[in-house]
Structure 1
Amino acid sequence: MALRVLIVDDEELARLRLRTLLADCVSPSVQVAGEAGSAAAALQWLATQRADVLLLDIHMPGLDGLQLAQRLRGLPRRPALIFVTAHPEHALAAFEVQAIDYLTKPVRRARLQEALERAAHWLQQESLAPPSGFGGMGAALPGASAASGGVIIVHDRGERVRVPLAELLYLRAEAKYVCLRTAQRSYLIDEPLSELEQRLDGGFVRVHRNALVAVSAVRALERHPVADAPATGFDGDASADAVGWAVQIAFTDEWLAVSRRQLRQVRAALEAH
């Protein structure tokens, strides 16, 4: 059965672009069930019709896409959320509202196809779960964690979730928490990155003082601008600019900064992989 897709974007050309790309997506098969030019219009549409997947912009007049996602969290069977936006800086906030994927414009067909496959898998899992339980991508409530037997145990909404180390794309320190990122979910825990590093079973390389990356998840190592790079450079060197070495992460297409002092180690790890 084809996935029923609702496109939510205030720009008509953006909706047309997505409709064209969806026409070329064959696995899973999709049906554009409707379009909405605002979050309010999307809510009105969803009040009477069903969508399996929402392709959702963030910046829109009135309610933005993140606020719409918050409104939908109370639904017993909510649609899978795939954000499609020109603003990569909102990725973490999107995962916190349990988005399945986060695509940046201009969207490539292959990347959209990948997101739809992930959404189909999520919907299948949701159909087997009790109505009160949500899966998908999202930030777990901070809690104690420990790694053993190839997993990291995270407290997620009062439950203990076993996150296999093999599924981790990266671990990145953010303020007082560490973000654990898999292809399906993003978790926040309050354990120091240095302690987590000691418990990893290998296969990870430190790319920066605030980030560990699974070697198998590195799609590319290139000089690239990174949105959260400090104005003084990746290592605080006033002579550097905001463009430096970075790794591209598979599944998410994110770029994480690689510090100069870690560059040789990262290259060696990639060559040995």
Structure 2
Amino acid sequence: MAGFCLLRVMEDVLLNAIIVDDEAPARSELRYLLGEVGGVEVLAEAASVREAIEKMQSYPVDVLFLDVSMPEVTGIQFADALQRLKNPPAVIFVTAYSEHALEGFKVNAVDYLVKPVEIDRLHQAVNRAAEYVTLHVKATQSERIPVEKGGKKILIAIDSIRYVMARDDYAYLQTDSDRYFSTVSLAQLEKRLDGHGFFRVHRGYLVNLAMVEEVEPVTGGTLLLTLNGVEEKIPVSRRRVSSLKKALGL
């Protein structure tokens, strides 16, 4: 009966999900269980945080089913970084280790499941994710900004922008796959993007803090930033270094 009630809450909400776990059998088992629960479409699987980030560039994600113990970057660290996004996806930890539950909830996970996953608990977790998405994501998703490409006006998602670069009175907006032109100045775009996790690192650059992967000190007390999906390194002016480090929690 409890499972029936949860499914009724879910019937108008279809969650787009990515499963992140370094063990393939665990991913397969969870995918099967989610099929039994319903209300969730697993768009992709990832064996690492790096792979998950790549998948998130291609798919609109409502919820991440995230293992805690993974190589290089842990699930806790990844979930913490996701909080810098304006509209982070719901996170459900699925792990063999119950002792990390407190850490999981500190990074705003909607639930914490211990393997082997019980289907009733998975029902409950999916329901919580649906409530989170309904309240926090669906109402504000798909915020877009007009740009120009090939003489045409198009709209791109704000959270797909890696950085904005000033050129005279105009600006270029860089995503992971393309560069777009805007007749709006960098100063105007800074106001437009306020509240979306962008930071003015230099008089000529705005960067999306959620896309920062590496911070490299250079001569003269300045920094160079490496952003996800971007080869070009972004300079940070000396007077912006301290406030940037604070914004990144460094």
TM-score, length of structure 2 as denominator length: 0.49
- Greater relative contact order, per chain length (Cα 8 Å cut-off, separation 6+): 2
TM-score, length of structure 1 as denominator length: 0.45
Larger relative helix fraction: 2
